[in-house]
């Protein structure tokens, strides 16, 4: 089983990964789901060690993705995929994970459910909320960029969410490193501008 | 914005970006040629480029930290149903565990909550799976599940026993435990793990931090988060994923690291590492500061040192230094056998490991000592070796099923409330099942299983909105009813299941086939063999069309067909079909319960065909297999001994038969206790053998004891009661207590009549035996009436050439001869004689009776040639040793 090839646009972000109860879940979907859960749990674990003040723990997505790759490399449905494809999917998983989390955060803040009582820590909550909002804005700006220039959107996603470096991104997208550098700068500028407008 | 505009914007951005700030505006103004929007956009981009302050410039790590970390535990839940949260006990990738108290009772519990349940179905499934696992386990050393529910937002949680204690290694260090104390604690851990294995569960994440020791020294095994049900060990995405959870591979077995199949041996390995740590005071491998890849290499390739050579403990533990060299050698062997890289050379079960711990503690030689390594004997111990009685197995099955469906239900629900209430009800029901433990067996428990199943049926009937689930429940509950002897209830459920499955899955689906086969086996139990055969064949045909040739469903249906053929007396076809079933079920991996069952049926078919040698060798094969599968003293082993005894009995070797029967009784009695129906059966069988040796009084005592048990357990009207009455009746008849015999056989007939609605050849057997009493009373008229009634029943229920028909006709003929009605007798004796001679193994006694009678009949009608022929045969028969089959 091959993970989805790059450039065919079949990694559309719309809810696929999260839709529950898809009866005949394809191998591919399952791989994504696994990866998604894995990324999430690794992130969680690292997050709680950061919070506990464990100095050796860092929330470094590159290390995270590399570690996840090592672990998944032996599994039957990931084995045949290249590390780069894996990382690209991990980036997608990470994006989706964070965006979903931010979305939840937002909706809780707006009202939440009646029977759940939250212990509130106002300061950190406010901080998280503003960060979450920015993330949501970034997500929709990326969506828009994806419609106009998919390659660039994928580049941003891979670099920002997946921690791919310039060389890896260039290889993944099949362009020169110079192109990546140029595209990155322009996309970043436009996205930053869009985010400010969204505020 | 479209892509052309975006291209232009980018081009302009790149041309302008590196110009001195003052020149940018002028350049753009001329380049944009009056397109104010374009100019504004590019200016905004340039502005953003210069500022470097968007979220994109922070690392994703910071973002993740903000949106994920700051919510928990601060943004935590305070109440779960009747529980109030006190504090956070711990958190991991899956969820948070809280210490909470029940508001009404004040008792402390631990509540596990799945964090961010919305994230993925895979995670919800894993959480549910842990809950399912805990629900299945009821052992003093395993933290119990108390309750489960979900919050209104769908976040699932469950309540467990709160264990106040410290991790195993920490406890030992703090209490300065001696080697022996450490081994005792370790042994307790092993027992808990073995219990889980007995429930077909492997833990897969055994480590000291998952084993808490309370201050009183009692242990609790925690965290079945990645436990695995053994039935579903096929490589699956799920397995891969759960295997990944291990962040610290210190206790992980090589096969876990490699992603190979895991099993009981995986837990044995982890136990080995734990023992190593307990004995040596350190882990076998130092994996700190290694990358996962490096750690993997060490675990899969490096041999660990001996615990005795680590020696850290010797200096810190009182008494450790005084353990002798030979004893340390034993401890090394214990650890390293459990931790062997090749899982085939580890202890084959936790029980084997416990045995060696016990040997060590008693100063006996170890089984795992290299000169007597168990693997050399090729002893194959199966995962399910823990003796689980039928009752307990049914119990576990019902419970497992309810839990399983509860979870399925939870998944299937779309709108929360109504369904949630139902889920909760079933969960409550399921919880109730666990009250009182599952280990004790005996009549009261089997009765409880019935009530339990009854309640399951009531629950199932409320599930009209989910016909798939409902039909599955009906199917399973129906089969359980059948096993419990409740044929009427079984029938109604299986019929409902069939209808529903036909409409939901189609009449050609494997699901429908499964029910057809089950219904066929029910018909078989009801003695309706033609219908049974038709149903099973239909199911088998569907399976052959719809399933891959190696699918176990085909083997199962084939085996069922063989059983039906055997029961209807078609032994040759039965043998053919059962051989096919055995072929399909003979796996590369060794014996299985299903294979043993098919082999048993095959042995029985050969037995009924009079192929005693073949049957004996097959039964011995099954016996060896069952001993491997279940251990020496398991009811299955007793069944095999009974079958071997039956062969000896039929061969006339009553002393040998008695030996087998007594062994079987001993095993059965010690397994089930004195008042269990299984004990009653074993008593009945031994009684029969004793009768044949003339030990009538002892036999009568045993049979009456059996009858008492059966009446108490099954009630007065049950086939088992009838079977025992038959044996008692025969004894009474032999003792000349004809009134007793008449009473027994009459009751037997009544019971069969009411159970089988007047239509079963068993009724004929009872009538025929009752007729025999009237023969003894020389009331031949009554005897004839009863024989003829029996034959009428046989003609409706058995093939004309059936052994029972032959015997009854011979007996009728004999009664008529005694009544001097030779012309009436002749056709009966002759027909009976002909049927018997065609039997592969006719009872010599009745053959001889037929010959003597025929001779007398022909002499009376002066057909002396014919009479002479039978006289000669009769004389021949007397010379023949009684054990030779009548075929010769």
Q: Which ipTM score applies to this complex?
A: 0.72
In angstroms, the Cα distances linking B676 to B396, B481, B646, B680, B755 are: 19, 18, 22, 6, 22
Q: How far is B145 from chain A (nearest CA, A)?
A: 23
Judged by CB atoms closer than 8 Å, whether chains meet at B46 and A189 is answered as: yes
Chain B hits for A116, Cβ within 8 Å: 77, 151-153
Q: At what angle do helices B264-280 and B325-338 cross, to 10 degrees?
A: 150
Is B297 touching A (CB cutoff 8 A)?
no
Is A53 touching B (CB cutoff 8 A)?
no
Q: For residues B665 and B648, is the Cβ–Cβ distance under 8 A?
A: no
The domain ranges of chain B are 3-57, 65-161, 165-377, 506-625, 677-879
H or E element in which residue B482 lies: helix B467-483
d(CA B555, CA B606): 20
The tokens for B24 are: 């940018």
d(CA A143, CA B490): 58
Q: Give the pLDDT score at A121.
A: 32
Helix, strand, or coil (residue B201): strand
Helix, strand, or coil (residue B202): strand
Q: B165-377, which class in CATH?
A: mainly alpha
Q: At what angle do helices B822-838 and B844-860 cross, to 10 degrees?
A: 140
**Strand B219-221 to B211-214 pairing:** antiparallel
Q: Please identify which residue in the block is written with the tokens 């010599």.
A: B844
Mean pLDDT of the region B790-804:
86
Among A45, A100, A108, select the one facing B93 at the smallest CB separation. Answer: A45
Q: At what angle do helices B593-608 and B552-567 cross, to 10 degrees?
A: 20
Q: Give the pLDDT score at B92.
A: 62
pLDDT digits (tens, 9 = 90+) for B729-759: 988 998 899 999 999 999 999 988 887 777 7
pLDDT band at B187; cut points 50, 70, 90: very high
Alpha-carbon dihedral of residues B35, B36, B42, B44, nearest 10 degrees? -170
pLDDT digits (tens, 9 = 90+) for B667-722: 888 776 777 777 888 898 899 889 888 898 899 999 999 999 888 877 788 877 88
CA B213: distance to chain centroid? Answer: 31
Is B258 touching A (CB cutoff 8 A)?
yes
pLDDT digits (tens, 9 = 90+) for A14-71: 222 323 333 334 555 555 566 666 666 666 665 555 555 544 444 455 555 555 555 5
Range 360-419 of B in CB contact (< 8 A) with A: 411
Is A143 touching B (CB cutoff 8 A)?
no
Does residue B414 have a pLDDT over 50? no
pLDDT digits (tens, 9 = 90+) for B490-507: 899 999 999 999 998 899
Range 68-97 of A in CB contact (< 8 A) with B: 70-72, 74-77, 94, 97
Q: What is the DSSP letter of B366?
A: P
Residue by residue, DSSP assigns B557-601 as HHHHHHHHHHHTT-HHHHHHHHHHHHHHH--SS---HHHHHHHHH
Chain A hits for B62, Cβ within 8 Å: 59, 131
pLDDT band at B799; cut points 50, 70, 90: confident
Among B47, B55, B74, select the one facing A119 at the smallest CB separation. Answer: B74
pLDDT digits (tens, 9 = 90+) for B75-99: 457 788 888 888 888 766 677 888 8
Residues 6+ apart with CB under 8 A from B444: none
Considering the domain B506-625 in this protein, what is its CATH number? 1.25.40.10
Q: Give the pLDDT score at A4.
A: 28
Is A54 touching B (CB cutoff 8 A)?
no
| Best A31, A190, A198 residue to mutate vs chain B (most B CBs within 10 Å) | A190
Does residue B400 have a pLDDT over 60? no
Does residue B426 have a pLDDT over 50? no
**Strand B201-202 to B165-167 pairing:** unpaired
Establish, for the pair of chains A and B, how many residue pairs have beta carbons separated by less than 8 Å: 212
Q: How far is A140 from chain B (nearest CA, A)?
A: 14
Is B56 touching A (CB cutoff 8 A)?
yes
Is B245 touching A (CB cutoff 8 A)?
yes
pLDDT digits (tens, 9 = 90+) for B821-860: 999 999 999 999 999 888 766 778 889 999 999 999 999 9
Is A117 touching B (CB cutoff 8 A)?
yes
Judged by CB atoms closer than 8 Å, whether chains meet at B65 and A76 is answered as: no
Is B241 touching A (CB cutoff 8 A)?
yes
Q: How far is B186 from chain A (nearest CA, A)?
A: 29
Exposed, middle or buried by CB within 10 Å (0-12, 13-18, 19+), for B782?
Answer: middle
Judged by CB atoms closer than 8 Å, whether chains meet at A18 and B118 is answered as: yes
Chain B hits for A98, Cβ within 8 Å: 60, 63-64, 67-68
Q: How far is B44 from chain A (nearest CA, A)?
A: 6
Q: Give the pLDDT score at B211.
A: 92
Does residue B17 have a pLDDT over 90? no
Is A144 touching B (CB cutoff 8 A)?
yes
Helix, strand, coil: what percent of chain B each, to 5? 65, 5, 25
Q: B65-161, which class in CATH?
A: alpha beta
Highest mean pLDDT among A65-79, B458-472, B533-547, B559-573: B533-547
Q: For residues B55 and B62, is the Cβ–Cβ distance under 8 A?
A: no
Q: Which of A138-142, B242-246, B568-572 has the lowest mean pLDDT?
A: B242-246
Judged by CB atoms closer than 8 Å, whether chains meet at A127 and B70 is answered as: yes
Nearest to B485 by CA among B390, B593, B566, B603: B390
Does residue B51 have a pLDDT over 90? no
pLDDT: is B777 or B195 the higher one? B777
pLDDT: is B354 or B33 the higher one? B354
Q: Give the pLDDT score at B138.
A: 78
Q: Please identify which residue in the block is written with the tokens 């079977």.
A: B723
Judged by CB atoms closer than 8 Å, whether chains meet at A115 and B93 is answered as: no
B149: left (phi over 0), alpha (psi -120 to 50) or beta: beta
d(CA B232, CA B400): 14
Q: For residues B339 and B303, is the Cβ–Cβ distance under 8 A?
A: no
Instruction: Tell me whether the omega of the peptide bond preceding residue B73 falls within 30 degrees of 0, making it cis.
Output: yes
H or E element in which residue A85 lies: helix A83-110
Does residue B130 have a pLDDT over 70? yes
The tokens for B661 are: 């029967």
Mean pLDDT of the region B137-156:
83
Does residue A7 have a pLDDT over 50? no
For B120, name the nearest residue in chain A, comparing CA atoms only: A18
- A7-29 residues labelled b (16+ CB within 10 A) or e (exposed): eeeebebeeebeeeeeeeeeebe
Helix, strand, or coil (residue B166): strand
The tokens for B337 are: 């056998």
pLDDT above 90 covers what percent of chain A? 10
Chain A hits for B39, Cβ within 8 Å: none
The tokens for B729 are: 């009746």
- What is the average pLDDT value for chain B, to the nearest integer? 79
Does residue B422 have a pLDDT over 50? no
Q: For residues B354 and B361, is the Cβ–Cβ distance under 8 A?
A: no
Cα radius of gyration (chain B): 36
Q: For residues B253 and B269, is the Cβ–Cβ distance under 8 A?
A: yes
Chain B hits for A60, Cβ within 8 Å: 59, 61
Chain A hits for B61, Cβ within 8 Å: 58-61
Highest mean pLDDT among B232-246, B305-319, B535-549: B535-549
Chain B hits for A36, Cβ within 8 Å: 119-120, 122
Q: Give the pLDDT score at B403.
A: 45
Which strands form B211-214's sheet, in the order they lie side by side?
B165-167, B211-214, B219-221
Judged by CB atoms closer than 8 Å, whether chains meet at B75 and A118 is answered as: yes
For B40, name the nearest residue in chain A, comparing CA atoms only: A193
d(CA B580, CA B558): 7
Q: How far is A36 from chain B (nearest CA, A)?
A: 8
Chain B hits for A149, Cβ within 8 Å: 3, 6
Q: For residues B631 and B387, is the Cβ–Cβ distance under 8 A?
A: yes
Is B79 touching A (CB cutoff 8 A)?
yes
Highest mean pLDDT among A51-55, B105-109, B410-414: B105-109
CB count within 10 Å of CB B586 equals 15
Residue by residue, DSSP assigns B62-120 as HHHIIIIITTTTTT---EETTEEEEEEEEE-SSEEEEEEEETTT--EEEEEEETTGGG-
H or E element in which residue A78 lies: none
Q: How far is A46 from chain B (nearest CA, A)?
A: 9
pLDDT band at B243; cut points 50, 70, 90: very low
In angstroms, the Cα distances linking B130 to B227, B403, B406, B724 are: 7, 11, 13, 46
Exposed, middle or buried by CB within 10 Å (0-12, 13-18, 19+), for B86?
Answer: middle
Which strands form B95-102's sheet, in the order they lie side by side?
B79-80, B83-91, B95-102, B108-114, B156-161, B145-150
CB count within 10 Å of CB B381 equals 19
- What is the average pLDDT value for chain A, to the nearest integer? 64
Q: Give the pLDDT score at B536.
A: 96
Does residue B587 have a pLDDT over 80? no
For B67, name the nearest residue in chain A, comparing CA atoms only: A128
Does residue B770 have a pLDDT over 60? yes
Helix, strand, or coil (residue A6): coil
Q: For residues B602 and B834, is the Cβ–Cβ distance under 8 A?
A: no
pLDDT above 90 covers what percent of chain B? 29
Residue by residue, DSSP assigns B540-566 as HHHHHHHS-TT-HHHHHHHHHHHHHHH
- Give yes or no on whether B65-161 and B165-377 have one common fold: no
d(CA B684, CA B701): 10
| Best A189, A191, A196, A198 residue to mutate vs chain B (most B CBs within 10 Å) | A189
Among B62, B65, B247, select the one facing A45 at the smallest CB separation. Answer: B247
Mean pLDDT of the region A145-166:
88
Among B1, B64, B74, select the one facing A59 at the smallest CB separation. Answer: B64
Exposed, middle or buried by CB within 10 Å (0-12, 13-18, 19+), for B462?
Answer: exposed
Is B800 touching A (CB cutoff 8 A)?
no
Residues 6+ apart with CB under 8 A from B127: B94, B95, B114, B117, B156
pLDDT above 70 covers what percent of chain B? 78
Q: Which of B134-138, B512-516, B851-855 has the lowest mean pLDDT?
A: B134-138
Is B653 touching A (CB cutoff 8 A)?
no
| Best A41, A123, A153 residue to mutate vs chain B (most B CBs within 10 Å) | A41
pLDDT digits (tens, 9 = 90+) for B546-574: 988 888 889 999 999 999 998 877 888 99
For A102, name the nearest residue in chain B, comparing CA atoms only: B67
CA A26: distance to chain centroid? Answer: 21
Which fold is adopted by the domain B677-879? Answer: 1.25.40
Among B65, B67, B152, select the one facing A105 at the smallest CB separation. Answer: B67
Mean pLDDT of the region B260-271:
85
Does residue B304 have a pLDDT over 90? no
Q: Give the pLDDT score at B380.
A: 21
Among A50, A94, A116, select the one facing B77 at the smallest CB separation. Answer: A116
Q: Give the pLDDT score at B786.
A: 96
CB count within 10 Å of CB B606 equals 25
H or E element in which residue B484 lies: none
Mean pLDDT of the region B652-669:
91
d(CA B635, CA B32): 92
């Amino acid at each position: 089983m091959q993970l989805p090839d790059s450039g065919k646009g079949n990694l559309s972000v719309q809810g696929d990964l999260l839709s529950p109860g898809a009866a005949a879940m394809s191998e591919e979907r399952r791989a994504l789901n696994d990866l998604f859960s894995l990324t999430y749990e690794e992130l969680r674990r690292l997050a709680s060690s950061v919070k506990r003040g464990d100095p050796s723990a860092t929330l470094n997505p590159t290390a995270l993705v590399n570690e996840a790759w090592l672990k998944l490399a032996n599994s039957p449905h990931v084995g045949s995929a290249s590390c780069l494809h894996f990382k690209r999917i991990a980036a997608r998983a990470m994006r989706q994970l964070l965006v979903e989390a931010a979305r939840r955060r937002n909706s809780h803040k707006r009202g939440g459910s009646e029977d759940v009582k939250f212990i509130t820590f106002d300061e950190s909550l406010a901080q998280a909320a503003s960060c979450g909002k920015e993330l949501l804005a970034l997500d929709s700006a990326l969506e828009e960029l994806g419609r106009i220039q998919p390659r660039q959107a994928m580049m941003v996603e891979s670099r920002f969410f997946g921690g791919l470096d310039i060389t890896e991104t260039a290889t993944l997208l099949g362009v020169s490193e110079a192109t990546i550098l140029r595209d990155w700068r322009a996309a970043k500028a436009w996205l930053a501008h869009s985010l400010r407008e969204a505020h | 914005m479209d892509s052309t505009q975006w291209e232009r914007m980018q081009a302009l951005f790149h041309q302008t970006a590196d110009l001195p700030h003052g020149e940018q505006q002028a350049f753009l103004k001329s380049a944009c040629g009056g397109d104010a929007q374009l100019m504004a956009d590019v200016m905004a981009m340039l502005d953003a480029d210069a500022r470097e302050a968007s979220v994109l410039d922070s690392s994703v790590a910071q973002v993740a930290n903000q949106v994920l970390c700051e919510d928990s535990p601060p943004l935590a839940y305070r109440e779960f149903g009747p529980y109030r949260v006190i504090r956070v006990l711990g958190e991991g990738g899956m969820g948070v565990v809280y210490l909470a108290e029940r508001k009404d009772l004040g008792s402390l519990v631990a509540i596990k909550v799945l964090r961010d349940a919305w994230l993925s179905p895979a995670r919800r499934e894993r959480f549910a799976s842990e809950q399912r696992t805990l629900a299945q386990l009821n052992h003093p050393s395993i933290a119990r599940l108390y309750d489960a529910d979900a919050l209104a937002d769908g976040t699932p949680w469950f309540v467990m026993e709160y264990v106040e204690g410290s991790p195993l290694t920490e406890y030992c260090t703090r209490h300065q435990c001696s080697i022996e104390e450490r081994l005792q604690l370790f042994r307790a851990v092993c027992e808990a793990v073995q219990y889980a294995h007995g429930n077909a569960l492997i833990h897969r994440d055994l480590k000291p931090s998952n084993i808490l020791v309370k201050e009183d020294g009692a242990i609790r095994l925690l965290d079945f988060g990645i436990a695995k049900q053994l039935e579903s060990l096929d490589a699956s995405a799920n397995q891969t994923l759960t295997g990944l959870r291990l962040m610290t591979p210190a206790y992980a077995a090589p096969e876990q690291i490699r992603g190979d199949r895991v099993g009981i041996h995986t837990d044995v390995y982890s136990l080995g590492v734990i023992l190593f740590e307990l004995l040596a005071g350190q882990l076998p491998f130092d994996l700190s500061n290694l990358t996962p890849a490096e750690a993997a290499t060490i675990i899969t390739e490096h041999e660990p040192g001996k615990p005795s050579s680590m020696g850290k403990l010797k200096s810190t533990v009182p008494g450790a230094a005084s353990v002798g060299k030979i004893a340390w050698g034993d401890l090394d062997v214990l650890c390293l056998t459990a931790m062997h890289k090749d899982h085939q050379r580890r202890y084959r079960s936790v029980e084997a490991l416990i045995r060696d711990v016990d040997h060590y503690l008693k100063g006996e030689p170890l089984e795992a000592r290299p000169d007597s390594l168990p693997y050399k004997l090729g002893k194959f111990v199966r995962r399910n070796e823990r003796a689980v009685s039928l009752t307990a197995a049914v119990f576990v099955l019902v419970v497992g099923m309810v839990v399983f469906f509860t979870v399925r239900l939870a998944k299937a629900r779309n709108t929360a409330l109504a369904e949630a209430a139902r889920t909760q009800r079933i969960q409550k029901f399921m919880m109730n099942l666990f009250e009182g433990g599952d280990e004790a067996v005996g009549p009261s428990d089997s009765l409880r299983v019935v009530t339990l199943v009854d309640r399951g049926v009531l629950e199932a009937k409320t599930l009209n909105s989910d016909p798939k689930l409902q039909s599955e429940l009906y199917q399973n509950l129906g089969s359980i009813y059948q096993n419990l002897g409740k044929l009427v209830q079984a029938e109604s459920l299986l019929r409902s299941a069939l209808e529903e499955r036909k409409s939901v899955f189609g009449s050609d689906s494997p699901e429908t086939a499964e029910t057809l086969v089950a219904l066929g086996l029910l018909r078989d139990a009801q003695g309706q063999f033609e219908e049974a055969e038709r149903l099973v064949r239909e199911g088998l045909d569907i399976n052959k069309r719809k399933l891959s040739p190696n699918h176990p469903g085909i083997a199962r249906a084939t085996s069922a067909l063989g059983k039906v053929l055997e029961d209807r007396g078609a032994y040759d076809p039965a043998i053919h079909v059962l051989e096919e079933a055995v072929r399909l079920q003979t796996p590369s991996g060794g014996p299985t319960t299903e294979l043993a069952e098919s082999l048993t049926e095959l042995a029985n078919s050969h037995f009924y065909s009079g192929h005693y040698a073949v049957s004996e060798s097959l039964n011995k094969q099954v016996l060896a297999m069952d001993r491997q599968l279940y251990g020496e003293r398991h009811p299955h082993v007793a069944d095999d001994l009974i079958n071997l005894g039956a062969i000896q009995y039929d061969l006339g070797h009553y002393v040998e038969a008695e030996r087998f029967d007594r062994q079987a009784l001993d095993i059965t009695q010690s397994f089930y206790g004195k008042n269990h129906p299984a004990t009653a059966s074993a008593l009945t069988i031994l009684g029969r053998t004793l009768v044949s040796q003339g030990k009538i009084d002892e036999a009568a005592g045993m049979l009456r004891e059996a009858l008492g048990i059966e009446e108490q357990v099954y009630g007065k009207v049950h086939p088992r009661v009838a079977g025992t009455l038959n044996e008692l009746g025969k004894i009474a008849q032999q003792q000349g207590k004809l009134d007793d015999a008449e009473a027994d056989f009459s009751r037997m007939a009544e019971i069969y009549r009411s159970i089988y609605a007047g239509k079963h050849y068993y009724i004929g057997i009872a009538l025929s035996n009752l007729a025999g009493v009237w023969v003894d009373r020389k009331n031949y008229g009554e005897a004839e009436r009863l024989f003829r009634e029996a034959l009428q029943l046989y003609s409706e229920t058995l093939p004309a050439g059936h052994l029972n028909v032959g015997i009854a006709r011979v007996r009728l003929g004999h009664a008529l001869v005694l009544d001097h009605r030779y012309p009436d007798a002749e056709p009966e004796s002759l027909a009976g004689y002909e049927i018997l001679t065609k039997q592969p193994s006719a009872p010599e006694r009745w053959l001889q009776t037929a010959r003597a009678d025929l001779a007398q009949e022909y002499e009376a009608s002066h057909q002396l040639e014919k009479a002479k022929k039978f006289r000669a045969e009769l004389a021949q028969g007397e010379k023949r040793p009684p054990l030779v089959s009548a075929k010769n």
